[in-house]
């Protein structure tokens, strides 16, 4: 598990990666999150304190967020119905502010939490969860349905080139050297 700023994220993360986005109000909150991550790394505590949303990265033009919306028809994946899959133009650079956003990246399935609770469009909390098998099934479906994803390090990808100009920004360039074992 790694906590990354936008530039390091786009340089290293591939389509299909499970992540949590922490979109903070300002740079000071980002530094507080970094300090808490480096000192403890307890994802449950970070999530409770800072919020955040789970999603599966596609590319800078779109990703799949876990968001319940009772007005949407459920997606049927291998006979399982999911009413919490929301594909949209979730940009690391674009809609989001790379100056106040950090991404927690799960580098492999062993790091995934036993379950995740998707956001709820209408309610603060709804007691529905997705387990690892659900996430695996959704990830496979998303990778097949979302092709082709753009390589964010390619010449055609503008976002990383844009961020390369931000050489001194500590949030955009943040890369955790701490690898925490999930709790």
140 contacts 82 by C-beta, under 8 angstroms: no
For the ranges 5-19, 121-135, 140-154, the lowest mean pLDDT is seen at: 121-135
Q: What is the pLDDT of residues 40-80, one digit of tens each?
A: 878 889 988 999 999 999 999 899 999 887 777 889 999 99
Q: Looking at residue 89, what is its pLDDT?
A: 85
Q: Looking at residue 146, what is its pLDDT?
A: 81
57 contacts 96 by C-beta, under 8 angstroms: no
How far is Cα 95 from Cα 35, in angstroms, rounded to an integer?
Answer: 26
- Is residue 9 scored above 90 in pLDDT? yes
Q: What is the DSSP string of 4-52?
A: E-HHHHHHH--TT-EEEEEE-SSHHHHHHHHHHHHHT--HHHHHHHH--
- Is residue 106 scored above 90 in pLDDT? yes
Comparing 34 with 157, the larger pLDDT belongs to 34
Cross-strand pairs, 88? 63
For the ranges 15-19, 107-111, 151-155, the lowest mean pLDDT is seen at: 151-155
The whole-number average pLDDT for the span 3-13 is 95
Q: What is the pLDDT of residues 115-138, one digit of tens each?
A: 998 887 555 555 688 999 999 999
How far is Cα 39 from Cα 155, in angstroms, rounded to an integer?
Answer: 37
- Is residue 94 scored above 90 in pLDDT? no
């Amino acid at each position: 598990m790694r906590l990354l700023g936008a530039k390091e994220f786009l340089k290293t993360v591939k389509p299909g990666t499970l992540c949590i986005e922490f979109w903070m109000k300002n740079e000071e909150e980002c530094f507080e999150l970094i300090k808490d991550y480096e000192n403890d790394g307890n994802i449950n505590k970070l999530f409770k304190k800072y919020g955040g949303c789970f999603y599966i990265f596609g590319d800078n033009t779109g990703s799949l967020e876990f968001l319940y919306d009772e007005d949407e028809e459920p997606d049927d994946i291998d006979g399982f119905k999911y009413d919490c899959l929301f594909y949209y133009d979730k940009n690391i650079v674009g809609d989001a502010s790379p100056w106040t956003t950090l991404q927690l990246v799960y580098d492999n399935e062993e790091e995934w939490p036993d379950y995740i609770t998707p956001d709820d469009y209408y309610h603060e909390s709804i007691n529905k969860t997705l387990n690892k098998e659900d996430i695996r099934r959704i990830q496979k479906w998303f990778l097949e349905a979302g092709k082709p994803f753009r390589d964010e390090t390619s010449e055609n990808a503008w976002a990383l080139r844009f961020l390369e100009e931000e050489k001194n920004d500590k949030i955009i360039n943040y890369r955790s050297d701490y690898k925490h074992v999930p709790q």
